[in-house]
Amino acid sequence: MFSPICRHQSGMMKYILVTGGVISGIGKGIIASSVGTILKSCGLHVTAIKIDPYINIDAGTFSPYEHGEVFVLDDGGEVDLDLGNYERFLDIRLTKDNNLTTGKIYQSVINKERRGDYLGKTVQVVPHITDAIQEWVVKQAKVPVEDDGVEPEVCVIELGGTVGDIESMPFIEAFRQFQFKVKRENFCNIHVSLIPQPSATGEQKTKPTQNTVRELRGLGLSPDLIMCRCATALENSVKEKISMFCHVEPEQVICVHDVSSIYKVPLLLEQQGVCGFLTRRLDMPMETRPRRMLTKWKEMSDRSDRLLEHCSIALVGKYTKFSDSYASVIKALEHSALAISHKLEVKNIDSANLELSTLQEEPVKYHEAWQKLCSADGILVPGGFGVRGTEGKIHAINWARKQKKPFLGVCLGMQLAVCEFARNTLGWADANSTEFDPDTKHPVVIDMPEHNPGQMGGTMRLGKRRTIFMTNNSVLRKLYGDVEYVDERHRHRFEVNPELKSHFEEKGLRFVGQDVEGERMEVIELDDHPYFVGVQYHPEFTSRPIKPSPPYLGLLLAAAGKLPGYLVKGCQLSPRGIQ
């Protein structure tokens, strides 16, 4: 194997810090993931850490409109969605400590102070907070993140926000010290900046980048690579100007222009010699064998450009105004669409617009929403919290069931599918979840907390849990490869009421997947329907570009009319996708 040789020759962990300037949301997460991907394709074991300077302990209590979706890890960690990018790009499994926040650091330091660990010293930002940051990074970088259990050799660290923010100052100072502690050949800094192109002149402007690099240098960090985010490819003259004013060689200025697919970004970096630069800069011996992993990425991105057939999925949710709210859901749909060689069109529908109250107040929005829903090839109702928009989701589920439209309900989507069936097939008009109607006479979804003592979120069922398939003739079981059980990630507090199970199964709504104890209903399937599936877990969190999530793949196959053929062939994906 290559890795032990590399570890022996270099001896030290290599750290790559990715910082950002000018604006937040510039694409640091994708760039950090892409850097990791090209290094992994060279045979190195790579891990990743995301630093969020906000004071929250984790992302668990955020509204999706704040920072996008909350990504859930195997260990139940509720983290920033960038960790989802790391897992998808690098095909690794991270833990909650791979997401470091100001809140976590201050909490650990204050706990130490209360225990008397500082021996009566005055506890200060420097050195105590900065030391705690460095210790956390060093410790977490060594934690294996792949199935082979090998200790990583490279750690990519993404610092959220922008350089110059008050809240990120302790982290910048920590890494200023850190670069000397671990030595220059084991630490490098990639700075991501924006090159605006005002429409009035069409000229690419370098001044914001010059300013952000000057500010970064003033804080004690010198960028080794400046990655320029721009709408179109960087002109040579602009590259030379940045090189001159930012004190780097032209080869250290990398253009990351807008591309049709994020899976092209690793290829874009590789073409500009990023891998070669990092190997020289960090003294990392590389394998000379062909980089098979990058070849797969190239095939994938080329295929995504050549897709001719279209498939549309209606995404019926309550946070549809902000695409990052359903980042993993959309990625899982994209992975599945690519696998079946179809171009995906996601029709975002605010579920509240499907309700009769909207017909009274804003009839145009109501009819537009229903037109989108009715014209879609498949319907997806994702997870969510709170009562707003739930009746609209139930209307969408009713339409999918009666019109035999392919349907996938995830988490709350599954619970509402059970409510809809209870109301319209079993005749329980007031059937509801006790989350929305505590006094309902037919509580088909009830509060079944897992007791994890703590603050808000302490009673949620979080992280990887096992689901056992109860029958052999389940469509989803076949899609998973005819396995007896699956391990998937959960994030919920409410469950389908197990006492009412028999009423549903008599009418054809089968609970084909349950937890190990048989108390929690995990998977529903409806008889005599092309694809009507609900899952209590979140399969999108484990979907990968080259290995799509089976529930989402089933939805896309059914929407494209290819599910029966796929099942007959034994659920095998051809190397070039399903033709």
pLDDT of residue 573: 60
Average pLDDT of 66-94?
90
pLDDT at 333 exceeding the cut of 60: yes
Q: Where are the beta strands (DSSP E) in 382-531?
A: 407-410, 432-433, 443-447, 461-469, 485-492, 494-496, 509-515, 521-526
H/E stretch holding 111? helix 102-115
Which of 45, 335, 529, 538 is an active site residue?
Answer: 538
pLDDT in tens, 384-434: 888 888 999 999 999 999 999 999 999 999 999 999 999 999 999 999 998
pLDDT at 8 exceeding the cut of 80: no
Residue 155 among the catalytic residues: no
Q: Which residue has the higher pLDDT, 321 or 287?
A: 321
User: How much of the chain is in helix, strand and coil states, percent to nearest 5?
Assistant: 45, 20, 40
Here the tokens at position 518 are 């048989």
Q: If you search the block for the tokens 């000397």, which residue do you land on?
A: 180
Average pLDDT of 534-543?
95
Does this model's pTM top 0.85? My answer is: yes
pLDDT band at residue 58 under the 50/70/90 scheme = confident
Residue 538 among the catalytic residues: yes
pLDDT in tens, 432-471: 998 889 998 999 998 877 655 444 445 788 899 999 999 9
Which of 411, 419, 495, 525 is an active site residue?
Answer: 411
- Residues 243 and 35: their CA atoms lie apart, in Å, by 21
pLDDT of residue 307: 81
Residue 158 among the catalytic residues: no
pLDDT at 30 exceeding the cut of 60: yes
pLDDT of residue 323: 77
pLDDT at 4 exceeding the cut of 60: no
pLDDT band at residue 287 under the 50/70/90 scheme = low
Average pLDDT of 554-569?
91
Q: Which residue has the higher pLDDT, 65 or 243?
A: 243
CA-to-CA dists, residue 218 to 15, 26, 169, angstroms: 21, 22, 12
The whole-chain average pLDDT of the chain stands at: 89
Contact between 191 and 176 under an 8 Å Cβ cutoff? The reply is no
Q: Percentage of the chain surpassing pLDDT 90?
A: 66
Alpha helices, DSSP H only, in 148-254? 169-181, 207-218, 236-246
Q: Which domains does the chain have, with CATH numbers?
A: 14-301 (3.40.50.300), 307-569 (3.40.50.880)
pLDDT in tens, 144-196: 999 888 999 999 999 998 998 999 999 999 999 999 999 999 999 999 999 99
pLDDT of residue 296: 81
* CA torsion through residues 261, 263, 265, 268, sign: negative
Most confident range, picked from 148-157, 261-270, 297-306: 148-157
Which of 78, 391, 540, 571 is an active site residue?
Answer: 540
pLDDT at 61 exceeding the cut of 50: yes
pLDDT at 43 exceeding the cut of 90: no
pLDDT in tens, 155-166: 999 999 899 899
Here the tokens at position 501 are 């199970």
